[in-house]
Chain A
Amino acid sequence: EADIYQTPRYLVIGTGKKITLECSQTMGHDKMYWYQQDPGMELHLIHYSYGVNSTEKGDLSSESTVSRIRTEHFPLTLESARPSHTSQYLCASSLSDSTDTQYFGPGTRLTVL
């Protein structure tokens, strides 16, 4: 069973608020990822990290930012939330090889009013 956690599971906030979505894993994985999932199910990579102090933007442009100060922790921050940020956010982690499985957290469903 994968040990990757996301909090909160659900979040409803007003426009302009600053929010941080938490993601933690206890598997010692170097690589971590954030995906945004449309209501139509499609997944878009928005950020990834290959280790501590390493962060990169993904395929879909996002106004969010991430940090990787500790191996196990990869939080995502929105400085000023807008209704267009309403989505499901999924965090994942993996070992270093391309054959390795990505393990996903349960997701955070964000609604910005």
Chain B
Amino acid sequence: GDSVTQMEGPVTLSEEAFLTINCTYTATGYPSLFWYVQYPGEGLQLLLKATKADDKGSNKGFEATYRKETTSFHLEKGSVQVSDSAVYFCALSTSGSRLTFGEGTQLTVNP
């Protein structure tokens, strides 16, 4: 079945540091790939997505590229801020719009 594996957290960085959160997937067919973010006390919201190989999703300084050859969708940001502290979920969707989520990675950014 479909699965998503994220790098283990928690991740703690200083402000303005470079962020990478690794995500790899296993899926039949050609999935769409997503990164969702959950701020404390809130539901999830879409951060970015890519629907086909080599697409790059980007939003709020975050980027991720759909790499079919390595089945990866790593999240990156060049300079994190305290306000980026949250839980980040990688997810995929194949048929039927059901999402398969990774375990989530807690990010804490210190001033």
Q: Do A and B form a real pair?
A: yes
CB-CB < 8 A to B104: which residues of A? 41-43
**B residues less than 8 Å from A90 (CB atoms):** 43-44
| Interface contact tally, CB-CB below 8 A | 61
Q: Are A96 and B97 in contact (CB under 8 A)?
A: yes
Residue of B nearest to A44 (CB): B101
A106 at the interface (CB under 8 A from B): yes
Chain A CB count within 10 A is highest, among B41, B44, B96, B104, for: B44
Q: How many residues in B have their beta carbons less than 8 Å from beta carbons of A?
A: 26
Chain B residues positioned under 8 Å from A92 (CB to CB): 43-44
- Supposing A98-B96, A100-B97 touch, asked if A41 and B106 sit within 8 A by C-beta, the answer is yes
Whether A98 lies near B101 (C-beta < 8 A) is no
Q: Which B residues have a C-beta under 8 Å from some C-beta of A?
A: 31-32, 34, 36, 38, 41-46, 49, 51, 87, 89, 93-99, 101, 103-104, 106
